[in-house]
Structure 1
Amino acid sequence: MSTKVSLQRTLGLSLTIGIIVLWLLGVAAAGLVARYKMNDVFDSALEETAQRILPLAVTEILNRENDTGPQRAPMLKAHDEYLTYLVRKPSGEILLQSHDVEPELFSPLPREGFSDTATHRFYGASAVSGTIYIEVAEPLAHRRAAVLETSLALLIPLLLLIPVSLLGVWWLIRRSLRRVVMLQQSIEARGGGDLSSVYVARLPQEFEPVVNAVNHLLERLRRTLEAERSFTANSAHELRTPLASALAKLQRLQAKTQDEQVRVQAEEIEGSLRTLARLSEKLLELAKAEGGSALAENDTDLVPILRMIVSDYQHKASGHLKLDVPDTPVMSLLDSDAFAILIRNLIDNALKHGARQQPITISLTDKGVLRVVNAGEVVPPEKLALVRRRFVRSDTKSLGSGIGLAIVDAIASGAGIELSLRSPASGQRDGFEAELNIVVTRTDS
């Protein structure tokens, strides 16, 4: 599971959730305020209705010629009656009622003021010295429906406002962080050997110290690496001339001397000088691998180069090299000189550390997968993890400088290629295998 956290995603989700929660809280608060105000309005309507109907009811009751019992107010037109009322005596006897009233909902005796039951809200008033009472009832469900409709009226616009707000938030975040994204892409597009300064115009103020610190670190690292490579290259170059001169003088001494013991010692010294000469050549190759670009401007067919190098080694290996290459070209941006250094070091490594008189297989597929396989003892995992380092050898008995695979690894890293080392080799019980895909294509950033 990836542990990477996107700044855009984090800000987007946080602001989105925050806006939604704030909108919903706002609607809830508005609904509560609306409910409180609507209850005041409904109570006022109950009170006003009672006070307007009561005088009319009193006049109608007092003008009756005889007591004819409870009467029902006439209905002029069919309609839903949200407010119902009863006009009663203090004893509870009904004198007048609305056409759609349910008397059983009212209390047995009339009361003044506001009161509630589980289903209704009531308001009562009296007239004629407390001899006539009126009570007006309103269903609480009516009030709840009104509050719900009001809340929905506030919530429905959010169905449009929330998506618009979210789109605005994401657009604003992407616009605000686009320079940061450009910085990220600029760094990601760099190769491992690109130590030039990072620059993106108009970065947010919070990121400028980070970029300045990174550029300062890159500059220090570049100077350090250049000094190391320059020292390695200059040291190796300066050694070549005195070593060649010493070898020439030693060979002349061998030709002139008649003393067998002196000749044997001279041969030992010559071997040491040749080892030192090979080491200086390897140091030059290492400096070039680490300092120069491993990529060329144009694609090159690497098959002829591989054939030529293997042909040169056939004389040293007494025919033990087996080459398997495709008939079709294998095009790559890998620099031809860098490829030559890479394949020579892989073959040298196989010759020096592989089992003698056993074949060394060098294969290249049409997909660009290069393998160099040799027989020999299995390299323990702990040593296999270290052989890419400079001056590290898996077999201390074999001749070698211990930087061959370090040179190969440096070229592979510079070209963006992954070098895979295995022991035992694939499909074998022993041996050593080096594998890498030499096809490098141009990528447009």
Structure 2
Amino acid sequence: MKLSPDPPRLASRLLRHVLVPLALTWVAGTAVSAGIAYWFTQRAFDRSLLDDAALLASNVQQHGDLLELGLTTREVNRVLFDQVETTYFSVRQKDGTHIAGVRELAMRPVEPPVTYRFADLELHGQQLRAVTLHRDEPVPFDVVVAETTLGRSVVLQRLAVFSLLPQLLLLGMLGWWLHRAIRSDLRPLAQLQEALGRRSANDLAAIHVEATTHDVATLAAALNALFARLERSVRAQREFAGNVAHELRTPLAGIRALADYGLQQTDPHSWREQLERIAASQARASRLVDQLLDLALALEAEAGLKLEAVQLDALVRDAVLRFLPRADASGVDLGAVGIDAPCTVQADATLVDGILTNLLDNALRYGSAGADDASAVTVAIEHRDGDVVLSVQDNGPGLPDDVQAQLVHRGRQGQLGQLLGQGAGLGLALVSQYATLMGAQMTLGSGPAGRGWLCEIRFRDPPAAA
């Protein structure tokens, strides 16, 4: 099996991504600068050649029909003296007659209106830079001055050396500084990696990193947010498992006891009675499992829940029609108020249906017990202070305020529910959780004149009614 090579370190990649383009740009800039410097250097040396040619031309004199250079050899050497270069000159008439200087040094004559021209040539195996200067007085003649290019090369080399070395030094210092700066900025990432490497699978606490940049701070915040979501999910799973183990223990033990008791009997009537009790206990256990699953799903949906506009009046109407046969069988007057006009809220239809289901189930279970008058349960929608309030109310015995405050916690039942042996205290916990997920507010209280029980769900800032 061929192992893939390890990927490069982030610090090395960042340093390479910075220095390589910078070095290429520096090389291109240096080449351009060297070219410009060479061009100006050539211009300066050429101007010096032209000045020497002009000085020699100014000393050409006419004697009769002939021209002669009015400078002695010593004077010419003084004019053309150079410590580095070897200089040659030649003076010729227009017809090619040699007047002074090196006879072999000749260039193509300059054609008017041009008065001088530069060119490169070779003499005695030497590469020379030459200029031809044309004069028309006293008679037309040309002066050629040429010199070797050693000085030019030396100047160019020195220019390159003295410009390249400081830039190379600066580039090295920049690379060293960037290396230190990148390592310093990436140190929080190394700390984050080390902290994650030491962490156990069960440790979902927030990570504390000394972030020096916004990116590292954002990454740490994202990881901590992920840990928080995982912690909530794990906690929900643990609570779900604990709730299942705790809440199902009693109904399962009751079913086992009823079955054992029925097996000990010989009367078929006793068998039927026990089977009916077992069926009722199984129904309660099944409902309990459904509530536990709903509660676990509600906790899981907290992170990805998206609210949208739902028709609250339609949901209330469907829930009332669904519970109406059960209310009629129990002799409870089930009604709805405020559903004759469309009402839209920002919510989740499934969660709203879960709220209505649990509230109506509780009201039909406990609301009719102990009522002096005919039992009644009312579902109402009303607009209050710019909000939409959904309420479920019965005319039963009601509950004290301190007991109502405890009902929103899981496993807490009212005294009546404990006496009836129904439910597991999860209904109102589900309602409270659903309301919190949708940003709504749940309030428990009593009905008019302190009678009965009332639960209100207030939806904040609802959209305009359709």
TM bucket (normalised to shorter chain) is: 0.3 to 0.5
Give the structure-1-normalised TM-score: 0.46
Give the structure-2-normalised TM-score: 0.44
